[in-house]
């Protein structure tokens, strides 16, 4: 919201007061449009940021004062019944009739509301929690690599090579990663490895993906030993990243324990669904419990499979007596 786009300012009218309007059953909050119509920019900013605090703080105070006046005999106006449409029982309620008890409690609640309301615009003014987001937006907006992401690999190759050599440190890392991906799509694994070498240290936010691309590049050039070592590093150092499911899938082709780990840790990952389908195609040497688990996994996360109905039919025919209501719900949704 910018000042240059606002309508011509109007005269600010602060009467009647918030307390007066609240005690007479009217909304005790000034409209934001009226508060933000000041002519001078600094005053407008102050009023704009503190409107929420005034709304949160003064209105509860007004209600509290109305309750005090209605209970002390100063006014016959009953704010509780007016706002909440609730009958009051003054005669038989010792707490309501006890002014010494009621007034300090209500005033204390009003003061607490005032403090909370005063803190809200301060948070809004200082932009608490937004610094990192704004910094990320600024870095992304100034990056010379991001605009090249939508270009074809052949059109951006020269500019990426220049940025990888002489660009800003962050842009250099981004350019190297993008160049490596383009080279691997062209089948040039050896050239891609040069750009990926040690890149996870200078670009840690993409470290799991860099290790994945490096392991794939090693497989592309036939270096299975280095590929396996890289997959193991990915699974060990970034076990909580979903990219680790790719490493578990690759390592599980020679060691079945990695596939069991993928099923337990990443059941919804597409690679895990692929693991389940491959295990079910193997000779029936698995336990009934594992067979049921694999079919339920496909029923819940393999909705994209063209032959999912076959898995569902086998699941219901084999385990209809032991399926729980929650499992039947998953199966029913998959059929639907």
Same domain, 162 and 208: yes
Question: How would DSSP label each residue in 8-61?
Answer: PP-----PSPHHHHHHTTS--S--HHHHT--SSHHHHHHHHHHHHHHHHHHHHH
Phi, psi of 7 (to 5 degrees): -70, 165
pLDDT computed for residue 28 by the predictor: 43
Residue 135 counted as domain residue: no
Lookup result for tokens 């690599």: 145
Counting the structural domains of the chain, the total is: 3
pLDDT in tens, 124-170: 444 444 444 444 444 555 788 988 988 999 999 999 999 999 988 99
Residue 141 counted as domain residue: no
Compute the Cα dihedral for 142, 147, 153, 155 and give only its sign.
Answer: negative
Residue 58: partners with Cβ closer than 8 Å, 6 or more residues away: 18, 19, 28, 114, 117
Residue whose C-alpha is closest to residue 6's, from 44, 47, 50, 52: 44
Domain end among 244, 264, 284: 264
Same domain, 254 and 285: no
pLDDT computed for residue 149 by the predictor: 87
Quick one: tokens of 148? 């090249």
Same domain, 82 and 156: no
Q: Which long-range contacts (CB under 8 A, 24 or more apart) does 77-84 make?
A: 77/23, 77/24, 79/23, 79/25, 82/25, 83/25
Cβ–Cβ under 8 Å, residues 298 and 311: yes
pLDDT computed for residue 143 by the predictor: 85
Residue 240 and residue 290: Cα distance in Å, rounded?
24
Tell whether the model's pLDDT for residue 297 goes beyond 80.
yes
Tell whether the model's pLDDT for residue 290 goes beyond 70.
yes
Measured between alpha carbons, how far is residue 284 from residues 249, 258, 259, 274, 280 in Å? 21, 20, 17, 17, 8
Residue 134 counted as domain residue: no
CATH number for the domain spanning 209: value is 1.25.40.10
Classify residue 25 as left (phi > 0), alpha (psi -120 to 50) or beta: left
Residue 197 and residue 296: Cα distance in Å, rounded?
41
Residue 12 counted as domain residue: yes
Residue 40 counted as domain residue: yes
Same domain, 274 and 260: no
Cis peptide leading into residue 16 (ω within 30°): yes
From the CB of residue 146, how many other CB atoms can be counted at a distance below 10 Å? 14
Range of the domain at 161: 147-264
Helix (H, G, I), strand (E, B) or coil at 247: helix
Same domain, 285 and 301: yes
Same domain, 190 and 221: yes
Measured between alpha carbons, how far is residue 247 from residues 187, 205, 243 in Å? 21, 18, 7
Which has more confidence, 160 or 50? 160
DSSP 127: T
Residue 243 and residue 256: Cα distance in Å, rounded?
18
Quick one: tokens of 252? 């599980």
Lowest mean pLDDT among 102-106, 152-156, 238-242: 102-106
**With a threshold of 0.85, does the pTM exceed it?**
no
Same domain, 24 and 108: yes
DSSP 92: T
Domain end among 225, 241, 264: 264
pLDDT in tens, 2-27: 444 444 444 444 444 433 343 344 44
Same domain, 153 and 54: no
Measured at the alpha carbon of residue 172, what is the angle toward residues 168 and 175, in degrees to the nearest 5? 130
DSSP 7: P
């Amino acid at each position: 919201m910018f000042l240059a786009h606002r309508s011509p300012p109007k005269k600010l009218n602060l009467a009647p007061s918030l307390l007066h309007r609240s005690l007479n059953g009217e909304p005790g909050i000034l409209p934001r449009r009226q508060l933000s119509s000041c002519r001078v920019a600094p005053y407008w900013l102050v009023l704009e940021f503190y409107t929420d605090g005034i709304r949160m703080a003064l209105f509860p105070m007004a209600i509290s004062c109305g309750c005090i006046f209605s209970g002390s005999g100063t006014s016959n106006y009953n704010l509780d019944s007016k706002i909440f449409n609730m009958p009051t029982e003054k005669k038989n309620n010792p707490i309501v009739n006890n002014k010494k008890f009621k007034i300090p409690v209500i005033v204390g609640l009003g003061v607490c509301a005032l403090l909370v309301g005063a803190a809200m615009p301060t948070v809004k003014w200082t932009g608490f929690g937004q610094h990192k987001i704004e910094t990320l937006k600024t870095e992304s907006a100034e990056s010379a690599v991001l605009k090249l992401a939508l270009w074809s690999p052949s059109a951006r190759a020269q500019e990426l090579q220049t940025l990888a050599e002489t660009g800003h440190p962050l842009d250099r890392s981004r350019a190297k990663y993008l160049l490596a991906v383009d080279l691997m799509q062209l089948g040039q694994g050896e050239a891609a490895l040069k750009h990926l070498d040690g890149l996870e240290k200078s670009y840690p936010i993409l470290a799991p993906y860099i290790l994945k691309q490096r392991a794939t590049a090693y497989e592309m050039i036939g270096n299975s030993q280095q590929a396996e070592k890289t997959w193991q590093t990915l699974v060990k150092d970034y076990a909580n990243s979903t990219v680790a499911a790719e490493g578990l899938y690759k390592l599980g082709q020679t060691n079945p324990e990695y596939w069991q780990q993928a099923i337990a840790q990443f059941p919804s990952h597409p690679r895990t669904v692929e693991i389940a389908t491959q295990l079910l195609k193997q000779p029936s040497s698995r336990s009934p419990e594992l067979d049921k688990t694999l079919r339920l996994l496909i029923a819940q996360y393999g909705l994209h499979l063209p032959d999912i109905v076959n898995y569902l039919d086998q699941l219901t025919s084999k385990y209809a007596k032991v399926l729980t209501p929650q499992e039947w719900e998953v199966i029913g949704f998959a059929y639907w």
